[in-house]
Amino acid sequence: CDTMSAQQPRRRKAAQSADRADDTSQEPPTSAQKFIMEFPVLVLWTGIFCASSWALCFPLALPRRVLESPLIWRLPFHGGVFCTIGAFIVKWYMEVYQAGIMGQQINYESNPRATHLLLGLIGSAWLMLVVGLWPQYHVFSLLVVALFGIGVLFPVTMWSVMYGRSVENVIFMVATTYFVFWYTGDSGDLVM
CA–CA dist 116, 114 (Å, integer): 5
Dihedral sign (CA 50, 56, 57, 58) = positive
What is the predicted pLDDT for the residue at 3? 53
Residue pair 191/181 in contact (Cβ under 8 Å)? The answer is no
Residue 176 has pLDDT above 50, yes or no: yes
CA–CA dist 78, 81 (Å, integer): 5
What is the predicted pLDDT for the residue at 52? 75
What is the predicted pLDDT for the residue at 160? 65
Residue pair 106/94 in contact (Cβ under 8 Å)? The answer is yes
Mean pLDDT lowest among 78-82, 116-120, 145-149: 145-149
Q: Give SS3 for 58.
A: coil
Task: Say what percent of the chain tops pLDDT 70.
Answer: 74
Task: Taking each helix axis as running N to C, give the angle between helix 112-137 and helix 74-92, from 0 to 180 degrees, rounded to the nearest 10.
Answer: 150
What is the predicted pLDDT for the residue at 131? 95
* Neighbouring residues of 171: CB distance < 8 A, sequence distance ≥ 6: 156
What is the predicted pLDDT for the residue at 154? 66
Confidence bin at 191 (pLDDT 50/70/90)? very low
What is the predicted pLDDT for the residue at 79? 92
Which phi and psi angles does 88 have, rounded to 5°?
-65, -40
pLDDT tens string 143-169: 888 877 766 666 666 666 667 777 777
User: How crowded is residue 125: how many other Cβ atoms within 10 Å of its Cβ?
Assistant: 20
Dihedral sign (CA 109, 112, 115, 116) = positive
DSSP designation for 72: S
Written as one letter, the residue type at 77 is F
Residue 132 has pLDDT above 90, yes or no: yes
